Amino acid sequence: MSDLSFKNIVDQYNELLTRTAKYDYFVRDAQIQKMTIEELKSRIAVLKGFKRQARERNDEEAANAFLHMQCVLYSRISSLSMWIELKRHKFHRAWDHLIDAQEYLAYAKRASSKGFGIDDLVAKLVKVEQGIFPGFPLYNSLGLTFKGGVCSVCGKKLEECEHIEEKIYYGVVCRRIRIESIDVDHTALVAEPKDRRCIISEVEDDNGEMRDYITWKVLRKKSTADDKGKIIRGVVYNSHDLDLS
Amino acid sequence: MNVEPEEVDLDYPIPQTDSAVFILPLAKSIEYKQKECVLYADTTPAMLKILRTNGIGTDLAYGNTDEIVYRENRSIDWFAPALLFVGTAISQNPDLVSITLNIISSYLYDIFKGKKDDPNVHCKFAVQAEGGEIKSIKYEGPVSGLMGISPIIQEMTK
């Protein structure tokens, strides 16, 4: 790929990012946001094609630049999805999309340092988190045991390949995928979990009523069978994964 | 930052190889899905590879990869596998400990970029001292403090 064609791709990416930024607000029409998501998905598919070509040319810098763009566009998709879910009053799903958006930006920063404006996008999402959601002082954190799984880069057993987990190789983040079996070992409440999607979703208030932690709506009276101590419910494991391939 | 002495129970022979560092299991035998397995920290493969690719001979202290079950703590903190430095390897290369800690720190700064500037790590380091005695410490604190424990580990060889 010549410098000019790479420049064209970057120009088109920047144009798309700038244009879709104006839909990245709560009050924008959900239908427009859905159409924008489809456009962004199409562009990601194209970028993945360029990334594959860069890999075939052994051009790791370009492949990583394409991963950067892929992650930023996925972050925009996640942000738009968050607004759509908020308007549908699906607040827990909206929270998951917000975390997706934040995590994609973190990977974008790692993939390439040549992108610009990422810190502004991160700052915007922090403001959204603080302004829209109540804040989660504690999250669920699992201790688990697992066996098996293969490398997301080469498909071999992670114990048998040279790729190192969380490192980026030609635009692909090395991760353990297709794990054979997972068993929960213990759960804990922590302030800083690995996965911030694992939130406390329901809490018992002082009157013994179970409330949705996000909306504070009363869900039900605590069952008398449960009347030993305070009850909380939450997400302990989320199998959802980002697309970093 | 917290550095404490830590007991390490080595009731198995360390393989006789040229490796300078061995990764210790969390448990040498657990039953998992009706099979006997060795339990290691989930960060073991990454540790093995980052040390090997940087020229530090590293091996598992017990078991082979086919029988491994991993434990993961899904916290933002990074839980390293326990490392055993071979005393003679430190004598031959006095920089071994500091180089190892530097490799681990660099890896963590890289993978936590954009998530956390100075993530917390949980590490255990054991050293085979001159008389064959195993001494070990536990470190819990920020990555930025990891290099600071190099002299403590070095002192444990005596």
- Is the Cβ pair A164, B110 closer than 8 Å? no
Mean pLDDT of A81-92: 98
CA distance A223 to chain B (A): 31
At B69 the pLDDT is: 95
- Across the interface, do A192 and B73 touch by the CB < 8 Å criterion? no
Which one of A163, A185, A194 has the shortest CB-CB distance to B71?
A185
Nearest-Cα residue of chain A relative to residue B115: A106
Write out chain A in H/E/C secondary structure.
CCHHHHHHHHHHHHHHHHHHHCCCCCCCCHHHHHHHHHHHHHHHHHHHHHHHHHHHCCCHHHHHHHHHHHHHHHHHHHHHHHHHHHHCCCHHHHHHHHHHHHHHHHHHHHHCCCCCCHHHHHHHHHHHHHHHCCCCCCEEEEEEEEECCEECCCCCECCCCCCCCCCEECCEECCEECCCEEEEEEEEEECCECCCCCEEEEEECCCCEEEECCCCCEEEECCHHHCCCCCEEECCCCCCCCCCC
SS3 B16: coil
Task: Spell out which residues of chain B touch residue A160, defining contact as CB-CB under 8 Å.
Answer: 65
Residue A195 has pLDDT above 70, yes or no: yes
| CB contact at 8 A, A221 and A208 | yes
Record the tokens describing residue A3, joined without a space: 């410098």
- Is the per-residue pLDDT at B102 higher than 70? yes
Q: Tokens 């959802």 appear where?
A: A240
Give A26-64 pLDDT, tens digit per residue: 999 999 999 999 999 999 999 999 999 999 999 999 999
B68–A105 CB contact, under 8 Å? no
CB distance B114–A194 less than 8 Å? no
Closest partner residue to B32 (CB to CB) among A122, A145, A165 is: A145
Residue B35 to residues B63, B68, B69, B71: CA-CA distances in angstroms? 14, 11, 10, 16
Q: Do B69 and A147 touch (CB under 8 A)?
A: yes
Q: Given an 8 Å threshold on Cβ–Cβ distance, is B114 in contact with A108?
A: yes
- Tell whether the model's pLDDT for residue B132 goes beyond 80: no
| Cα distance between residue A65 and residue A170, in whole Å | 9
Could you give the CA distance from residue A202 to residue A131 in angstroms, rounded to a whole number? 20
- For residue A146, the distance in angstroms to the closest alpha carbon of chain B comes to 5
Q: Is A192 within 8 Å of B76 when comparing Cβ atoms?
A: yes
Rounded to the nearest integer, the mean pLDDT of chain A is 93
The answer to whether residues A177 and A121 touch, using CB atoms and an 8 Å cutoff, is no
As a whole number of angstroms, the distance between CA B74 and CA B77 comes to 8
Contact yes or no for A166 and B49 at CB 8 A = no
Model confidence at A22, pLDDT cuts 50, 70, 90, reads very high
Residue numbers in A near B115 (CB within 8 A): 103, 106
Q: What is the ipTM of this complex?
A: 0.91
Does the CB of A193 have a partner CB in chain B at under 8 Å? yes
Q: Judge whether A208 is closer than 8 Å to chain B, CB to CB.
A: no
A194 to B53: CB separation less than 8 angstroms, yes or no: no
How much is the pLDDT for B8? 78
Mean pLDDT on A100-107: 97
Average pLDDT of the residues in B68-87? 94
Find the mean pLDDT for residues B6-27.
87
pLDDT at A227: 62
pLDDT digits (tens, 9 = 90+) for B55-68: 999 999 998 877 89
pLDDT confidence of residue B13: 84
With beta carbons less than 8 A apart as the criterion, state whether A115 and A13 touch. Answer: no
List chain B residues with CB under 8 Å of A142. Answer: 72-74
| Cβ(B80)–Cβ(B45) below 8 Å | no
User: Given CB atoms, is A156 within the 8 Å cutoff of chain B?
Assistant: no
Q: Which pLDDT band, with edges at 50, 70 and 90, does B12 fall under?
A: confident
CA distance A142 to chain B (A): 5
Interface contact flag, B74 A181, Cβ < 8 Å: no
Q: Is the pLDDT of residue A1 over 60?
A: no
Q: Give the DSSP letter string of B81-103.
A: PEEEE-HHHHHH-TTHHHHHHHH
User: What is the dihedral sign for C-alpha A68, A105, B78, B92?
Assistant: positive
Can you give the pLDDT at residue A224? Answer: 65
Residue of chain A nearest B67, judged by CA positions: A147
What tokens appear for B8 in the block? 């390490």
| pLDDT given at position B45 | 96
Q: Choose the closest CB to A194 out of B65, B71, B74.
A: B74
Spell out which residues of chain B touch residue A188, defining contact as CB-CB under 8 Å. Answer: 75
- Chain A residue numbers touching B110 (CB-CB < 8 A): 110, 166-167
The one-letter amino acid at A228: K
Greatest mean pLDDT among A86-90, B35-39, B60-64 lies in A86-90
C-alpha to C-alpha distance for B52 and B21, rounded to whole angstroms: 10
Cβ pair B32:A147 closer than 8 A: yes
Residue A225 confidence (pLDDT): 63
Q: What is the Cα–Cα distance from A8 to A11, expressed in whole angstroms?
A: 5
Q: Comparing C-alpha atoms, which of B155, B150, B146 is closest to residue B1?
A: B146
Q: Give the pLDDT confidence of A105-150 residue by residue, as tens digits.
A: 999 999 998 778 899 999 999 999 999 999 999 999 989 999 999 9
The stretch B117-122 carries a mean pLDDT of 94
Each residue of A218-245: pLDDT tens digit? 998 776 666 667 888 899 888 888 999 9
Residue A221 has a pLDDT of 79
Residue A164 above 70 pLDDT? yes
Share of chain B above pLDDT 70, in %: 100
